[in-house]
A and B are shown apart, each in its own frame.
Chain A
Amino acid sequence: MDGGSTAAYRHLFLAACPGAWLLGTALDLAALRAFAVAGAALLLCAFWLSRRRLRFLAVRRELYPSAFEGDAVAVPLVLENRGRGAVHLVEMADAFGPGVAHRQLLLEPGPLHGRRQRRLTYRTFCSRSWGVYTVGPLSLGTADPMGLFQARRSLLLVEPFAVYPQIHPVGGMERRGGRPSAASQPTTRDWPGQSLAYLGVRDYRPGDEMRRIHWRATARRGSPVVKEYEVDLVPYFSLFLDLARAHRAGTGRKSTLDYLVRTAASLLAAASRRGDTLQVFAEGRAPLFVPPGQGDLHLARGLYELIRSRQEGSVSLFELALRHRLELPEGSTAALLLGTISFDDADLEEVLEALRARRVEPLVVLVDSHSFIPIDRRALPRDQAWERTRHLLALLRGHGVAATVLSSEDDLEDALGQADFLGEPAPA
């Protein structure tokens, strides 16, 4: 916060005053002594003015505390002059953590009159990757009119700022689940349920409501028959995220964590845009649970939990899904986001069966950890990894489950947009 130093003049003046006094005393020159006294008074006045101006200034930041990667962010600062006189040339230095620069310097040239405030907005970019950063501290600086003395005050205006991962469009997501409104998408599924869409008839079972008896068919068959309706597709999206420590691989933008978080964020955003109720289950060092909810604020909460997550867990995703399967409403969609392709097929099949039994539509995204730089364990050779990938996709297709496999060779944006959760990943 130093736009061109005026220190040289200050030093000259500080040396000149006592020098003039000494010379004036030694040679008995009253003019020089008067010069020294006047100069000292001027310096004192300048020092006092620089401090006095700062005392009446206050600043606050009115910043919405989150943005997506690459977003342009406007940071509004409100500078208040609580004194009576006008102030000029007030310097401010802010530290916007997600930006590249260490500090953002700005100037209020003034005049800012007494008992007035002014909003100063500077624009910067979220240049860094997703995560939680800080904005601040903020410092204020003023000087006396001659700029000889500068006074600065650091304000502990430090706020967290969340940078969410960039959202990529996810192919085929609109087919999962239904829409709450009259839209072109299917809103029911051909499972027996409570919708108005007629499915067929079946034999009467004890407990069936009388009003559902199909009298004409009953008369025809001679035994009670009831009408069945299709199930309402609940617009409900549950995400199971794998945060097992064992599945860590790669660094920075090419890591399983980065792929998992970005994919999870894109899935949540797509589901939220469709109007789904969202919930997230994961277990890192501590359980991560985002309770069911809808809307942008709820999505922001989900994203916030995602960017704070780390692969430090020890619980398998399959175990997590089995544990929470009863919390998934019938007709909803559940996405399993796994950080590996090396697991026991039986476990996967067990989970799929359990979800099917709850009439939950599963969706599987696998991140091939062997395609990233290994951290804890040796990676599978690429041919074996591809073999495993093909096998898994065939297995999942056999169960009628939409799935895709992401590897480090894939551009995430393209892979999520094109995969459609049905076909095989494109070979590298």
Chain B
Amino acid sequence: MSARTRREVVAPLESARSLALYALSLSAGAGAVLAWPWEPGRPILAVAAAAFGLAAAQAFGQGLAAWLSGTLEPRTRTRVRLWVGVLYAGVTVAGLAVGAVEPRLLRPEAALFVLLQGLFLLGSDVLGGPILAVANALVLVILSSFRGGPIAAASVTGYLGSLVFFLTLDHYVRRLSWYPARDVSLTGAALRQAAAVALPLALGLGGFFALYPPAPYARLPVEGPDATTLPEQVAEAYRRLLLFAIAGGGCVLLVSRLRGRGANGEPPAEEVVEAERSAEEGLPELPRGRRLYPGARGRIVRAYLRVLAQAPRLGFRLRPSLTPSHIAAELREPAAPVATLTSLFAGARYGPDEPGEADVRAAEAAAQAVLARANRRSEKTAFRSRPVLYAVCAVAALAAIGRAGPASPSRSREIQLGGRLRTYLLHVPPTPRDHPLPLVFVFHGGGGDGAGMERLSRFSERADREGFIAVYPDGLWNHWNDGREEAVSRAHRERVDDVGFVSATIEAVSRENPVDARRIFATGISNGGIFSHYLGARLSWRLAAIAPVVGGIAEHARSEFKPERPVSVLILQGTEDPLVPYHGGGIARGRRGRIIGTEEAARLWAEHDGCTGDARVGTLPDTDAQDGCRVRWKRWVGCRGQTEVAVYTLEGGGHTWPGGATHLPRLLVGRVCHDLDATELIWDFCRRHPQEASVGAP
């Protein structure tokens, strides 16, 4: 690239930078001379002198730099910079200290620092750039701040605003002077970027100062020559300053364009190459987000990346230099899944052969196993590393004894299904039972997990009291494939067989515990509620009742709504649910699929269950007047197989577990209804509706 071309690229930016530096100096200098005028009562004269003096200094400074460039040795320049810097720092500290103690001296100090500003502008290139001018302008702003009022406000705001412009333009000049670049014009872009930062800053500061005008220094004399300049004079001075600034800026711009200082900085030590730039192209479309590795390879690589994303929880810091073998050495446990995953990843990433479906499943199962270990580990680590929190929790637990927590802990269980490791929390009541126990599945909402659902629903406490087994399954990728055709989550996209998972879990739990096959129930919230409907339709021969909370029937699932047996259904839905609309339609404003309305869903179940006669309606007492919620119910009884369909409409209720904790801000999920306890209501409903004796597997 020729020097001429480089100059053409950089010259407009350099001119703009000179203007910004002038604006910076002027805003600070004008503030100082207005705050501490040389001749009180004639501020306009002082402002004019500052504006033209600084403009002349900057214009001549460019010429001086060109003249001195060949005369001073680099070592001499360094020494000059060092001595000037040290001397200036001493003068500044002493000046501010003396001015704070004896405010009468602020006037001559202001004159001195304005003079220094001119000198620094004059010798900025000799002194290693305009850093000293920027620093001295800051000192002038401090001097203005002593005066307080509109002068201080204008100084601070003007300094910061023009500093943003100056730094942005300086940054662009440095980069484009260093690197060869042609056919680019970035002045507009630089100014836009600077404005995007400076304007909000200036507006914010301006607004703040308008509300809270800055007070003057407390030790300033109230009257006399150092008293505040009259506000009218200040306003007039600033109006004139605009004109002076335009004139001075014009001079600076003119000289800058005439001189054109060329490249800045030391010659590069590296090979600075000019890139041939192509035209912009659109990014290649990657199916389903960022699929850089398609097919089976991609699935294995992504399983590995999921594990890497949890590196901090797994106890190591992910660094770019770590190879898969290093990572495996860091992980260590669980040894077999880590080794399997690492080997499969290496094969998928670098190997010549396309991995098979079995490899993909093995990799995903291994990743799941590693992450499951990480979950347990992080819980333990959290407790180990937070003794204070542990103590607080213990005290809180003791304080809440009698009503808090289930008597026995829930245990984590794993099963392998379709090459994937599935997990669930199992809560079995501690009292030994000599008869089969009911089994209740509680499904978490989208993005949650079984442990969170146990805390939210408190079904384990009730299970201990009432004697039933509670199961809190974990959805793959924290979601349930609930029949929505829209690809709202990975579980939907990959069509995870969650119905099969529930079926397998029933078998697994039944092998360990006495389960009453006629009293298996399902409930869940949100995504778990929609899944409860789906499960009721698909697994009706095993489920006696379902109780979806704030979740409807997916529109796509309606066409396949053919349960084999009648199922008791209890629906709880808020009318003010911002995510799952009571009257049906798009979930989360249509971004996450569509459902049918609550009343329609209830009618669908009632028709299927063969409920005869009219539905009965009623309301619950408004036990909590503060929750902004009323409950009305509608029941269809006399259905086939002694089943029942009931809808509890929570008027004013949101996307929450009624009677439960508020797990998200009200702004996002709406109100929690406290007129009923969903856990109690659901268990009561389930308890009353076992499956008919004749009902069994088809």
Q: Are B214 and A34 in contact (CB under 8 A)?
A: yes
Q: Are A108 and B152 in contact (CB under 8 A)?
A: no
Q: Are A38 and B160 in contact (CB under 8 A)?
A: yes
A109 touches B (CB below 8 Å): yes
A322 touches B (CB below 8 Å): no
Q: Is the interface of B mostly helix, strand, loop or mixed?
A: helix
B205 touches A (CB below 8 Å): yes
Q: Are B278 and A120 in contact (CB under 8 A)?
A: yes
Q: Are B320 and A29 in contact (CB under 8 A)?
A: no
Listed by A's residue number, 27 A-B pairs whose Cβ atoms lie within 8 Å are: A4-B175, A27-B217, A30-B214, A31-B214, A35-B141, A42-B164, A45-B197, A91-B175, A103-B271, A104-B273, A105-B179, A105-B270, A105-B271, A107-B178, A109-B179, A109-B181, A110-B186, A116-B280, A118-B279, A118-B281, A120-B276, A120-B277, A120-B278, A121-B278, A123-B273, A145-B196, A146-B168
Could you give, for residues 65-97 of chain A, a 1 whenever the CB lies within 8 Å of some chain B CB and a 0 otherwise?
Answer: 000000000100100111000101101010000
Residues in A lying within 8 Å of B, measured CB to CB:
3-4, 6, 8-9, 12, 16, 20, 23-24, 27-32, 34-35, 38-39, 41-42, 45-46, 74, 77, 80-82, 86, 88-89, 91, 93, 99-113, 115-124, 143, 145-148, 154-156
Q: For A104, what are the chain B residues with a Cβ–Cβ distance below 8 Å?
A: 270-271, 273
Q: How far is the CA of A114 from the CA of B168 in the complex (A)?
A: 21
Residues in B lying within 8 Å of A, measured CB to CB:
96, 100, 129, 131, 134-135, 138, 141-142, 144-146, 148, 152-153, 155-156, 159-160, 164, 167-168, 170-172, 174-179, 181, 184, 186, 189-190, 193-194, 196-197, 201, 204-205, 208-209, 212, 214-215, 217-218, 264-265, 268, 270-283, 290, 320-321
Q: How far is the CA of A156 from the CA of B321 in the complex (A)?
A: 8
Q: Are A145 and B283 in contact (CB under 8 A)?
A: no
Measured CB to CB, the closest approach of chain B to A6, in angstroms, equals 6
Q: Are B177 and A35 in contact (CB under 8 A)?
A: no
Which one of B138, B204, B265, B320 contacts A155 once the chains associate, using CB atoms below 8 Å?
B320
Which one of B148, B179, B186, B271 contacts A31 once the chains associate, using CB atoms below 8 Å?
B148
Q: Which residue, of B148, B276, B290, has the highest number of chain A Cβ atoms within 10 A? A: B276
Q: For A143, what are the chain B residues with a Cβ–Cβ distance below 8 Å?
A: 171
Q: How far is the CA of A35 from the CA of B167 in the complex (A)?
A: 17
Q: Are B152 and A31 in contact (CB under 8 A)?
A: yes
Q: Are A145 and B270 in contact (CB under 8 A)?
A: no
Q: How far is the CA of A96 from the CA of B55 in the complex (A)?
A: 48
Q: How far is the CA of A23 from the CA of B138 in the complex (A)?
A: 13
Q: Are B168 and A119 in contact (CB under 8 A)?
A: no
Q: Are B281 and A117 in contact (CB under 8 A)?
A: yes
Given A3-B178, A42-B164: A29 touches B193 (CB 8 Å cut-off): no
Which one of B134, B164, B178, B186 contacts A4 once the chains associate, using CB atoms below 8 Å?
B178
Given A12-B134, A31-B156, A112-B280: A145 touches B171 (CB 8 Å cut-off): yes
Given A116-B283, A155-B320: A8 touches B271 (CB 8 Å cut-off): no
Closest to B281 in A: A117
Measured CB to CB, the closest approach of chain B to A136, in angstroms, equals 12
Measured CB to CB, the closest approach of chain A to B84, in angstroms, equals 14
Q: Are B205 and A34 in contact (CB under 8 A)?
A: yes
Q: Are B131 and A9 in contact (CB under 8 A)?
A: yes
Q: Are A34 and B156 in contact (CB under 8 A)?
A: yes
Q: Are A29 and B145 in contact (CB under 8 A)?
A: yes
Q: Are B170 and A147 in contact (CB under 8 A)?
A: yes
Q: How far is the CA of A29 from the CA of B135 in the complex (A)?
A: 19
Q: Which residue, of B134, B271, B290, has the highest number of chain A Cβ atoms within 10 A? A: B271
Closest to B183 in A: A109
Q: Which residue, of A4, A91, A108, has the highest number of chain B Cβ atoms within 10 A? A: A4
Q: How far is the CA of A418 from the CA of B209 in the complex (A)?
A: 89
Q: Are B212 and A99 in contact (CB under 8 A)?
A: no
Q: For A100, what are the chain B residues with a Cβ–Cβ distance below 8 Å?
A: 271
Measured CB to CB, the closest approach of chain A to B124, in angstroms, equals 13
Q: For A105, what are the chain B residues with a Cβ–Cβ distance below 8 Å?
A: 179, 268, 270-273
Q: For B208, what are the chain A residues with a Cβ–Cβ distance below 8 Å?
A: 34
Closest to A1 in B: B270
Q: For B177, what are the chain A residues with a Cβ–Cβ distance below 8 Å?
A: 3-4
Closest to B213 in A: A30
Measured CB to CB, the closest approach of chain A to B558, in angstroms, equals 37
Measured CB to CB, the closest approach of chain A to B319, in angstroms, equals 10
Q: Are A4 and B265 in contact (CB under 8 A)?
A: yes
Given A89-B171, A146-B168, A146-B197: A35 touches B160 (CB 8 Å cut-off): yes
Closest to A146 in B: B167
Measured CB to CB, the closest approach of chain B to A104, in angstroms, equals 5
Q: Are B164 and A31 in contact (CB under 8 A)?
A: no
Q: For B282, what are the chain A residues with a Cβ–Cβ distance below 8 Å?
A: 115-117
Measured CB to CB, the closest approach of chain A to B48, in angstroms, equals 25
Q: Are B283 and A42 in contact (CB under 8 A)?
A: no
Q: Which residue, of B100, B138, B209, B212, has the highest number of chain A Cβ atoms within 10 A? A: B138
Q: How far is the CA of A100 from the CA of B156 in the complex (A)?
A: 51
Q: Are A106 and B215 in contact (CB under 8 A)?
A: no
Q: Are B277 and A108 in contact (CB under 8 A)?
A: yes
Q: How far is the CA of A100 from the CA of B270 in the complex (A)?
A: 10
Closest to B180 in A: A107
Q: Are B272 and A106 in contact (CB under 8 A)?
A: yes
Measured CB to CB, the closest approach of chain A to B144, in angstroms, equals 8
Measured CB to CB, the closest approach of chain B to A127, in angstroms, equals 11
Q: How far is the CA of A90 from the CA of B134 in the complex (A)?
A: 27
Closest to A107 in B: B179
Given A109-B184, A146-B171: A28 touches B277 (CB 8 Å cut-off): no
